[in-house]
Amino acid sequence: MKKIFEWLIAIIIALALLFIVRTFLFIGYIVDGESMEPTFHDEDRLIVNKLVKNIGQINNGDVIVFHANKEADFIKRVIGLPGDTVEMKNNKLYINGTHVNERYLNNDIKTDDFSTRTIQGSKSDVIPNGE
């Protein structure tokens, strides 16, 4: 009976630790789609650090995971912060009018032109606070 009780306590502790780790520290994701290639490929498995959003600052070039809606999370690279202007022209990214070398991109893949104003129907030329 003592052995069963010890195993039961060990299982409860392990489940509690798993809950704490998954809730507050890390979570696993599976990449769904090809939009992040060549950095991440479809069905790649990731472990995401959940603490960074609470103790760090998001910067241009960071890769983040965010809730797109109740059913889906997206993984994307940050290319603009509040107050920035963003423009993709002739397959080149410009932030605040300065060309950004995207060394992680495959130059054979062509990207449609866009600007801060054309993204998601924005009414401004700059990225608003909180976006």
Give the residue numbers marked as catalytic.
35, 76
CA distance 37 to 92: 17
Measured CA to CA, the distance from residue 62 to residue 57 in angstroms comes to 10
Alpha-carbon Rg of the chain, whole angstroms?
Answer: 20
Task: State the CB neighbour count (10 A cutoff) for residue 127.
Answer: 19
* Per-position DSSP letters for 13-59, written without gaps between them: HHHHHHHHIIIIIEEEEE--SSTTTTTS-TT-EEEEESSHHHHS---
> CA-based diameter of the chain, in Å?
73
